[in-house]
A and B are shown apart, each in its own frame.
Chain A
Amino acid sequence: MKEIRFHGRGGQGAVLASVILVKAFTKEKRYSSAIPYFGFERRGAPVTAFLRFDDRPIREKTQIYSPDCVVVMDPTLKRSSEIFQGLKEGGIFVLSTRKSIKEVDVPPEVGTLGCVDAIGISLEILGSPITNSCMLGAFVATTGWVSLDSVLESIRETWSGETREKNLRAAQAGYNRTKVVRLR
């Protein structure tokens, strides 16, 4: 089983990103579940989502304390120490940041780092800093745990019309423009 923790802010779509990913894993005949944790219900407040996937049914109904992968949807969240809490040795870290990958400072347990300017891309394509679709592309590029096709198909089912097209483009751009570096 792999465990993934999403950190975002209310309004950025971290929870929806986790749901889209559950749909993508389901398309690939794997078991998956996502449990969100909302703190205070307002825009901008930190939001966490906990996603698991496996080849066997998932019965756990808990938060995730030792993730295989952490996805951070908002650059300002990286200042919080909780982001890296419990990340497995050699774990994967996917970050929304304007910085170049060399400028990003991560703790020693991070094995693979993926960086993308998700805010920039989302502003450019969607006209708003909602980073979820872009970060899904970045997640696929960094982890390779699920195919981009499955994620795009799930996005296609989530929205309609112009919003759908824009989110598909944001995910594709996130996939194309993510820089990945293996740190160990």
Chain B
Amino acid sequence: MEEMIVVDGNKAAAWGAVLSRPMMVAAYPITPQTPLVEYLSQFIADGVLDADLVEVEGEHSALSVLQGASLAGGRVFTGTSGQGLAFMFEPYIRTAPLRLPIVMVIATRDGISPQCVWGGQQDAVTVRDGGWIQIYVENNQEILDTVIMAYKIGEDPEILLPVNVCYDGFYLSHMSEAVKIPDQTLVDRFLPPYKPTHVKLDPETPMAVDPLTPGILFTQYRQGHLEAQEKAKAVIERVDEEFGHLFGRSYGGLVENYRMEDAEIALVAMGSPCGTGKVAIDRIREKGVKAGLVKVRSLRPFPRERLLDSLKGVKAIGVIDKNVCFGWGTGVLYVELSAALQSLSVPILDFIGGLGGSDITFDHFEFAMNRVLRAMKEEVTQTVHWFSLD
């Protein structure tokens, strides 16, 4: 029986961890992830989660400790935000090439400076080329469900990669809403125990892990890692489908299409703005505009085939970016999407907003859709807009 409880996004993530039965948790508190560490500690103290809790002195240690536990064959969990992720960068970029299927949530936070504790996706998008899988979610139920799915994706023998489940700081980390807590026996059926053979520290059968690896051999490892990222596309889709069969909820896998069947214009977004965006689409459709929204769940691997398929029929596109891409003068999703859609000659506009905890409002969505509608009818020169500034 599924139980319904009211939780914030951090607690939804903690529940996702509990149900996935990690044997070790190590995390260091940082806004806006802090309550997650408190919830996990409480769950372990209360015996709800049977795991070792390592109280580390910082994020660098948190992930390093978990690398050791994962190498010893354990399933592990952690989470971080913003500067914590920055402090974790050294073990972060080692985890994926070591092919350790660690699940780490990121309660996304904008980058400093100027000093800022608020939401924004800059932390997570900045490490998008650290080799991890990164999935961005829209609401608390999706946080919980995606944490469970993340283990199944990452631990797939064809994949063996760590996964970030990214949820927007404050807008989700601190938003309270009712979620269904899946039945543990069903989760156990969905997610069997982790049994690694590819890398394992075991005194009975010694294995050299991560020795100095030169040139061409190193290149082979890289190639294999990139192939695993490509293969992960199919696995993410399949796991989402399987989850849907067992629990009655699925999220579109790599990409969710919202009212895209006959859409002439489309918005493309990641994370919590997708929720507001769907309502904005409903409203503009009432006025007779054929609009839809494409929610990009997976930034790594980037679902270029799915996006091409979703967007091949539209006449103009607007991207909502809750982050920036230095050097391009745009957001990250805009750059990624433009690369994926290079075979289409369709105008793509970018809208940057939601930085530093600022709100992405219905007025912003209306502004964006009006600009996209104009781009459908005439040639426009300004492709990048900043919400509240333009």
Residues of A within 8 A of B (CB): 15, 18-19, 22-23, 26, 31-38, 41, 58-63, 65
Q: Which residue of A lies closest to B363 (CB)?
A: A65
Interface size, B (range): 20 to 34
A35 B170 Cβ-Cβ under 8 A: yes
Within 8 A of A (CB), among B242-299: 272-273, 275-276, 278-279
Q: Which residue of A lies closest to B272 (CB)?
A: A61
- Greatest chain A CB density within 10 A among B138, B172, B177 is at B177
Contact of A61 among B8, B275, B357 (CB under 8 A): B275
Contact partners of B171 in chain A: CB under 8 A:
35, 61
A-B contact pairs, 20 of them (CB 8 A): A15-B174, A22-B6, A22-B176, A22-B177, A31-B177, A34-B176, A35-B170, A35-B171, A35-B175, A36-B170, A37-B357, A38-B170, A38-B174, A58-B177, A59-B276, A60-B276, A61-B138, A61-B273, A61-B275, A62-B360
B41 on the A face (CB < 8 A): no
B176 A19 Cβ-Cβ under 8 A: yes
A contacts with B: majority SS: mixed
> With A60-B275, A60-B279 in contact, do A33 and B172 touch (Cβ < 8 Å)?
no
B178 A18 Cβ-Cβ under 8 A: no
Contact partners of A61 in chain B: CB under 8 A:
138-139, 168, 171-172, 175, 272-273, 275-276
A26 B178 Cβ-Cβ under 8 A: yes
Within 8 A of A (CB), among B151-173: 168, 170-172
B48 on the A face (CB < 8 A): no
A36 B275 Cβ-Cβ under 8 A: no
A22 B178 Cβ-Cβ under 8 A: yes
B275 A37 Cβ-Cβ under 8 A: no
Contact partners of B4 in chain A: CB under 8 A:
26
- A23 CB to closest chain B CB (Å) equals 5
Within 8 A of A (CB), among B168-207: 168, 170-172, 174-178
- A151 CB to closest chain B CB (Å) equals 13
A41 B177 Cβ-Cβ under 8 A: no
B31 on the A face (CB < 8 A): yes
Q: How far is the CA of A146 from the CA of B332 in the complex (A)?
A: 43
- A158 CB to closest chain B CB (Å) equals 10
B319 on the A face (CB < 8 A): no
B170 A37 Cβ-Cβ under 8 A: yes
Q: How far is the CA of A22 from the CA of B174 in the complex (A)?
A: 13
- Greatest chain B CB density within 10 A among A19, A37, A62 is at A62
B61 on the A face (CB < 8 A): no
B175 A34 Cβ-Cβ under 8 A: yes
B361 on the A face (CB < 8 A): yes
B90 on the A face (CB < 8 A): no
> With A60-B279, A62-B360 in contact, do A33 and B176 touch (Cβ < 8 Å)?
yes
> With A59-B279, A60-B275 in contact, do A18 and B176 touch (Cβ < 8 Å)?
yes
B87 on the A face (CB < 8 A): no
B362 on the A face (CB < 8 A): yes
> With A59-B279, A61-B272, A61-B273 in contact, do A31 and B170 touch (Cβ < 8 Å)?
no
Q: How far is the CA of A45 from the CA of B272 in the complex (A)?
A: 26
Contact partners of A33 in chain B: CB under 8 A:
175-177
Contact partners of A32 in chain B: CB under 8 A:
177-178
- A55 CB to closest chain B CB (Å) equals 14
